[in-house]
Amino acid sequence: MVHKALTIAGSDSGGGAGIQADLKTFQELGVYGMSVITAITAQNTKGVQGVYPVEPAAVLNQLSSIADDLPPEAVKTGMLFSSDIIEGVADFISSHAWSKLVVDPVMIAKGGASLLQKQSVQALIDNLIPLAYVITPNIPEAEVLTGLKIQSDYDRKEAAKKLFDMGARHVVIKGGHDTFSSSKEATDLLFDGNEFYEFRSIRVNTKHTHGTGCTFASAVTAELAKGHSVYESVHTAKLFITSAILNEIGIGNGHGPTNHWAFNKAGVRV
C-alpha cells in the first residue's frame, strides 16, 4: 500500500524549508508526497528576499485537484500567510473530514522575515487550531498563540494546556529555542490532554538549522500517514530532525539547510 501525505505551505527557492523540505522528508520516510503551494518566496540561506502569495482561489483549486484523485491520509500546513488562505484551507479540510492534520504555525523565517501577516494570527487561532490533530509550535510561536511568556518548564506546560484548550488534540512545543533548561539538550514536549511526554536529544551548536520546523512537522505527518500513533510519530520525527542537524551538509553563506537524507544514510542515525 502506498501511503500519501499532503503539505499545504510556501515554496522555498533555496530548498531548505517549506514545500521542498516537506517533500524531501516525505520521500525519505517512504510516503508519497503531494503539495499545495500558498506562496512563492525568493529565498536562500541568507534570508528572504521576497514573498509572493498565491491567490486563495488558486490554493482551493489545488486542494480540489488533490481531493478528487489523491486523497491524503495525513495533511500538514505550514506557511499560510493570509487570513483568507487560512480560512479557505480550514473550511476545505473540515468539509473533507481530513482528520489527521498537523499544523505547523509558521510565522517567522530563520533570518527574521515575517511569513504570516499579523492580522492572520487570530484566523489561525479561530479556524485552524480547532482542526489540528497535532500542532507543533516552537517556543516563540507558542508565546504568540497563547499570549503567555514561556520562561520555565512550568510555563511551557501551561502553554501546551492552553493550546489544547483552544482545540488542538495533541500539542508539541519544540525545544530548540529553550533558554531556561539544559544547555546540552533540546527537549520537545508532547501533551495529549492527559499526560506530558518529553523527547530529548543533544543540542547541536550550529547555524545550519534552516527548515528544522518544517522538517520536524512533515516527519510527524509522514508517520501519521503510515498509521503510527502520535507518540510514535513524534519519536521518529525527533530522531529524523536530530540526525538531519547533526550531519550538516554545510552549504550556503547563512543559515544552511538540514541534511534530509541523513536519517536513512548508513551509520548516521541517532
Rounded to whole angstroms, how far apart are CA atoms 231 and 162?
Answer: 20
Q: Which of 7, 41, 209, 215 is catalytic?
A: 209
Which stretches within 33-173 are classed as H helix? 56-69, 83-95, 121-123, 139-146, 153-165
Query: Which of 4, 76, 174, 238 does the annotation list as catalytic?
Result: 174
Question: Is 25 a known active-site residue?
Answer: no
The catalytic position among 10, 18, 33, 211 is: 211
- 4 classed as catalytic: no
Determine the Cα–Cα distance for residues 141 and 107; give it in Å rounded to an integer.
7
Amino acid in the structure at residue 138: N
* Residue 49 backbone phi and psi in degrees, to 5: -95, -15
SS3 for 143?
A: helix
**Among 16, 18, 213, 256, which one carries the catalytic annotation?**
213
Q: Which amino acid is at 69?
A: D
Of 136, 212, 236, 258, the active-site residue reads 212
Q: Answer yes or no: 213 catalytic.
A: yes
Q: How far apart are CA 25 and CA 36, in angstroms?
A: 16
Q: Which of 214, 221, 236, 258 is catalytic?
A: 214
Q: Would you call 209 a catalytic residue per the annotation?
A: yes
User: Which residues are catalytic, by number?
Assistant: 174, 209, 211-214
